[in-house]
Amino acid sequence: MNDTTESSLPFRLRQILETFDSISNREEREMLLLGYAERFKPVSRSVATPPYPAERKVPYCESDAYVWVTRDQEGAIDVQFAIGNPSGISAKALAAILREGLKGTTVEEVATMQDDIVERIFRQNLSMGKGMGLTAMVRQIAAEAKAMNNAGADSPKP
């Protein structure tokens, strides 16, 4: 990852990624990922309830993931997920990492987020299908933030 991309990452997300970068032992990384998966919290009922709208569904995701990007009163980002597959550990881990790492950031910071963070977190321990789905989660968040940014300050807040 180049310095420009690294420095443009939100601080919390950058800290999480640095933790993953520092762990070379596969079992330790898996334990860290399991810990994040256990911290996963599904989308709040104030944001969405099932059945979830098709436009929120993440393409290619084997875990049946849905994403919501909202802003609070101050305009800070909040990302929430629904994961349909109860054994979707990787999707739950990434969702928890992204929610924690992006909480309170700006639309601009999220809009420029690169999908290579998936490789930094999971390394090459993913099947092609799983990798495509997790990458699509990141891309969908960035695209929604970009759309919010393009809509300007008058875009609705939850």
- The stretches of the chain forming alpha helices (DSSP H) are 3-8, 11-22, 26-39, 89-102, 107-111, 117-122, 128-151
Collect all residues with Cβ–Cβ distance below 8 Å to 152 and sequence separation of at least 6.
none
Count CB neighbours of 108 within 10 A.
Answer: 13
Q: Strand 77-83 to strand 65-71: parallel, antiparallel, or no bridges (unpaired)?
A: antiparallel
Percent of residues, the chain, with pLDDT higher than 70: 92
Mean pLDDT throughout 16-27?
Answer: 95
- For residue range 65-84, list pLDDT tens digits in order: 999 999 988 889 999 999 99
The listed CATH number (3.30.750.24, 3.90.1150.10, 3.90.1010.10, 2.40.50.100) that belongs to domain 3-151: 3.90.1010.10
Mean pLDDT throughout 109-132?
Answer: 91
Mean pLDDT throughout 30-34?
Answer: 97
State which H helix or E strand residue 48 sits in. none
- For residue range 89-110, list pLDDT tens digits in order: 999 999 999 999 999 999 999 9
- For residue range 129-150, list pLDDT tens digits in order: 999 999 999 999 999 999 998 9
Tell which wins on pLDDT, 7 or 129. Answer: 129
Dist CA 54 CA 100 (whole Å): 25
Q: Which of 57, 30, 39, 50 is nearest to 137 (CA)?
A: 57
Mean pLDDT throughout 7-27?
Answer: 93
Dist CA 158 CA 138 (whole Å): 21
Rounded to the nearest integer, the mean pLDDT of the chain is 91
State which H helix or E strand residue 81 sits in. strand 77-83
What pLDDT is attached to residue 49? 96
